[in-house]
A and B are shown apart, each in its own frame.
Chain A
């Protein structure tokens, strides 16, 4: 009798994640793919990456997926990066420079630029460092990502971890011995209790 109850669709099993058909981008890290719904970064949705310090591997985490998009001739837009994205290193990571756009807007136009890039349909990935996030602005970005079927990554400070957000996926990054500790704060499906430690390529000596 318990089996028949469990098989009936009225019972939701906490161990299962939402299955999405073809709407994800493999991250390049098998351990992370196993924990994400659909096996990768959510396309057509917003991903928030929270961190307290820069330089712990926040870009290397997304590089494999970006390289895959770049090799498929898709545009990648960077909005308000904090420093100069160094072309020699980007090319070494597999990004095609011809399909890369860097936008440095004034503060007033930054959210508009991110929304345009997501909604246009031309750029398949957006990396944005935006300040002054509130739920309304985040929702607009989420909707723009859905409209353009784009993967949007918003980098924010770790102090925003406790805030509510409409993003489909929220990660908190911290340095750890042997690599990068990834806490999955929110994903479609149940929460993840233990952080994941990823060994990033290029960390152990150059």
Chain B
């Protein structure tokens, strides 16, 4: 067993700062004992002298353009669940450690991700993409890894025998014990976990309670620990607030990109793909606007989803400034992994991608395939197809070009080469035709498909043999 622990020390701030990149000072305040105090602030605010613990009014006096947000514990919980969704792309065994931690059991999936170093690198990249700061640590026990991550010690330890030595220098503050216990330990001169471990067990249990001994045992792996694993929801709907209102759709892209790794984790965990995505933009005092993105086939490739979102947002105009977005996956379908051909590169998927990109810019109706229809009337023997090819048969006596509407012509200067082919059809829906078709050559040398309408005796050009 190998556990990866992720600790998010600035989660209260990240919840707000993820939405936009802003140079303005940003701080999060919470009401503590009747007064609003700063809980976390970003680098720009720290530069102005704002720090955790000071009162909100003092902070606002120090920095003029300070954006002050109230701590939103519900959003933090939702963010943590979103991170758990993202973590689902590595392993199904994800456990939440509220308020700001995750534990992943990665012992079983190391070969899938090509080794520990690779997995850690992918995790770093994903966290950077989601703009969440985290400290990561690996250890053979879950609690041991968690203590390492809380202490900020980013070690990857696989050897159980060295666990005690690695945990020894950690400060006592990382232990999850009530303050009374921590003060008691400080009074007897214990500063690190190593000091605690050297104390006699019975004495420690009698003086500080069994939970301290139990925690140390769990960290060192002397006692097994049971964890509940996170079960992802069946639907994907994640929201993000932007601290400053967003005016143009391209800047929204930035916020949406933060949520894409969570969507990817969700899809990998469910072994599913999406056919459609919805982005709900909430404005003040107006109904929310919904932007839809569709895919030709269910997909879970992050690059493709991001490209489609970028192209759609690039062509959207926002009616009003947006202060929050929700990303929803509306059509989720099972999608097994793709079997790649060893010898040929994947051609079909790229073609569909090209069609989607053309459709986004030209409009859905402007890009289509062709299908035959089993019909005698030539103008109805074909249709534009938006999904796959249709029924009907090949016919080598037909021209390569069909005119969308037959064109009146005079027959004198045409030299008829072959025919007539009589087509009479369509009495059942009122669009009946009775025509004699010929292949003709006009004086300029073009070969045309003409017909004589038997009812009116007029001649028309219907196709061109190119």
Contacts and interface: CB of A to CB of B under 8 A. Distances in A.
A155 to B, nearest CB: 10
A91 to B, nearest CB: 4
Contacts of A202: 396, 465
B315 to A, nearest CB: 12
Given A55-B464, A98-B388, A122 B351 contact: yes
A82 interface: yes
Nearest to A86: B402
A97 B371 contact: yes
B58 interface: no
A148 to B, nearest CB: 10
B444 A122 contact: no
B362 A88 contact: no
B393 A91 contact: yes
A52 B465 CA distance: 15
A8 interface: no
A112 to B, nearest CB: 7
A205 B417 CA distance: 7
Give the interface centre of B357, B372, B394, B442 by most chain A CB atoms within 10 Å.
B394
Given A55-B447, A102-B370, A175-B446, A74 B400 contact: no
Nearest to A106: B362
Nearest to B344: A73
Interface string A57-98: 111100100000000011101000111111111111100111
Contact of B397 (A109, A123, A206): A206
B439 A101 contact: no
Interface string A115-143: 01100111100000000000000000000
A117 B389 contact: no
A91 B367 contact: no
A192 interface: no
A55 B402 contact: no
A79 to B, nearest CB: 9
Nearest to B365: A104
A58 B370 contact: no
A122 B418 contact: no
B395 A89 contact: yes
A113 interface: yes
A73 B348 contact: yes
Nearest to A122: B350
A58 B368 CA distance: 23
Interface string B335-352: 000000000100110110
B400 A90 contact: yes
Contacts of A86: 378, 382, 398-402, 463
Given A54-B464, A97-B389, A102-B368, A116 B398 contact: no
Interface string B18-58: 00000000000000000000000000000000000000000
A23 interface: no
A33 B67 CA distance: 71
Contact of A92 (B369, B388, B395): B395
Give the interface centre of B368, B384, B396 by most chain A CB atoms within 10 Å.
B396
Nearest to A155: B466
Given A86-B399, A106-B362, A112-B361, A101 B348 contact: no
A59 B446 contact: no
B362 A109 contact: yes
A53 interface: yes
B372 A87 contact: yes
B466 A55 contact: yes
Given A58-B466, A60-B466, A121-B350, A100 B369 contact: yes
A92 B383 CA distance: 17
B208 interface: no
A59 B447 contact: no
A187 to B, nearest CB: 23
B445 interface: yes
Contacts of A104: 362, 366-367
B256 interface: no
Contacts of A147: none
A202 B418 CA distance: 12
Give the interface centre of A88, A97, A205 by most chain B CB atoms within 10 Å.
A88
B345 to A, nearest CB: 9
Contacts of A106: 362, 366
A48 B368 CA distance: 25
Nearest to B382: A87
A87 to B, nearest CB: 4
B224 interface: no
Given A54-B464, A55-B466, A116-B357, A85 B403 contact: no
Contacts of B395: 88-89, 91-92
B404 interface: yes
A56 interface: yes
A85 B384 CA distance: 10
Given A101-B367, A103-B358, A117-B354, A59 B392 contact: no
A92 B396 contact: yes
Give the interface centre of B370, B403, B418 by most chain A CB atoms within 10 Å.
B370
A105 interface: yes
B350 A120 contact: yes
Q: Which 7 A-B pairs have the closest CB atoms?
A: A175-B445, A55-B446, A122-B350, A91-B394, A59-B466, A92-B396, A92-B394
14 contacts: A52-B444, A56-B445, A88-B372, A88-B395, A88-B398, A89-B398, A89-B400, A90-B400, A91-B393, A105-B366, A106-B366, A116-B357, A120-B353, A122-B347
Interface of B: 344, 347-348, 350-351, 353-355, 357-358, 361-362, 366-372, 378, 381-382, 384-385, 388-390, 392-404, 417-418, 439, 442, 444-448, 463-466
